[in-house]
A = this chain, B = another copy of it.
């Protein structure tokens, strides 16, 4: 016991020099995003559709076919504030589960904003600063992404303006104070600063869809401002691949390679960041690994959605994207895993599910909190509600290994801490946590919001 290693630590020099672009490994071009032209006819969306709100360097990353994309020096420098992140072997959890499985977790909660979101936030802030942009706008729900972008803008001398969903703004002031401490301006959405917000004046508690519309509107109208998105898009997933690359190096230190890699999925950036470097090896025939994507049963995009073209936002302003979706009009019930409450998913991740390379699983809210408390008591770290879904899957897999009598190696992503989610833990421990279901009627109602578009194979 006294000599058993639990923490695998890399030095600053081991921060990856490149991001892993999985698009280079996928057979052929996937279905393109579509945009209605001036004549109303749908056609593939191009760089010009994105350039009013994104810098060209990020648009080029979005469509890049290069297998590796170099990380700029200034971004690696910013990464040094919290990277490399530690990889832990969960020996206490293994004992608690009485499993022969070896369980490893890659912990991203040590970044200043407390999650993996910082990995893309600094990359996006840097590229926008290089392009001469003075301000970034974005939306945030409970505040994870908004605080990551506020932090990153402060690092690169950009203004940051965040539209925060009204109900969170009122009820969760800590994340707002965090953004303000890093110098960001935070608006309660709907605000009277935008046409989109003013049109919603009676809609006092707001929604993510409205907040997106407000942030995009301000960015599109101001040539010195751009918009920034925290998940879903290819370049965002690209930036997160530092996670999986470090995990490979750390597992080598441990003399292991994973049989199963597990991560939660909301928009897909945490999942892609951890799995893509491992998936590349599988696609290239260099390894055999299972991948499990864990999502909430209350928002079961990958497990019960349809593979179809849909809008990325609620209002319908974005291009149509090929993905598993519940319909862009679907408003998920207010589960505490706010980062997983998304009707769709990253097209890259959806394509991998479609191909059968990734197995999706859905879990109910109460069973994920049960798993989270079990993890916190064994390992110390209190997980955010999002990665608690991954932990639920890990426990399932560890129990399966025990039943099979096999010493399987399981790796999962612990993408953030739960310091701002303790009221949810309180509700769970007091037996007052809601446990929403998702019925066939809910599904039918949600899918009714799918737009007219070409079918996907």
Contacts and interface: CB of A to CB of B under 8 A. Distances in A.
Nearest to A427: B177
Contacts of A7: 12, 80-81
A11 B9 CA distance: 6
B423 A380 contact: no
A32 interface: no
Given A2-B77, A178-B422, 17 more contacts: A1-B73, A1-B74, A1-B77, A5-B80, A6-B77, A9-B11, A9-B12, A82-B380, A92-B155, A111-B380, A112-B382, A151-B380, A154-B377, A173-B423, A178-B425, A182-B377, A419-B419
A178 B382 contact: yes
A12 B2 contact: no
A114 interface: yes
Contacts of A305: none
A173 B419 contact: no
Contacts of A114: 419
Contacts of A73: 1-2
A193 interface: no
A429 interface: yes
A178 to B, nearest CB: 6
Nearest to A428: B181
B6 A12 contact: yes
A4 B7 CA distance: 25
A169 to B, nearest CB: 12
Contacts of A112: 380-382
A408 to B, nearest CB: 23
A380 B151 CA distance: 7
Contacts of A205: none
A188 to B, nearest CB: 14
Contacts of A12: 5-7, 9
Contact of A2 (B2, B76, B173): B76
A7 B177 CA distance: 27
A401 interface: no
Copies in the complex: 2
A431 B334 CA distance: 34
A376 interface: yes
Given A1-B74, A151-B380, A182-B376, A429 B177 contact: yes
A415 to B, nearest CB: 16
Interface string A1-24: 110111101111000000000000
A338 interface: no
Contacts of A76: 2
Interface in A365-398: 373, 376-377, 379-382
Contacts of A52: none
Q: Which 8 A-B pairs have the closest CB atoms?
A: A2-B73, A112-B380, A177-B422, A177-B426, A174-B422, A419-B419, A6-B80, A181-B425
26 contacts: A1-B73, A4-B77, A5-B12, A5-B80, A6-B77, A7-B12, A7-B80, A7-B81, A9-B11, A9-B12, A81-B381, A110-B110, A112-B381, A154-B377, A155-B380, A173-B422, A174-B422, A174-B423, A177-B425, A177-B426, A178-B382, A181-B373, A181-B377, A181-B425, A182-B376, A419-B419
B423 A81 contact: no
Contacts of A382: 112, 178, 181
B2 A74 contact: yes
Contacts of A363: none
Contacts of A425: 177-178, 180-181
A426 B379 CA distance: 32
A154 B380 CA distance: 9
A273 to B, nearest CB: 20
A436 interface: no
Nearest to A112: B380
A379 B81 contact: yes
A451 interface: no
A255 to B, nearest CB: 15
Nearest to A1: B77
Contacts of A155: 92, 380
Contacts of A111: 380
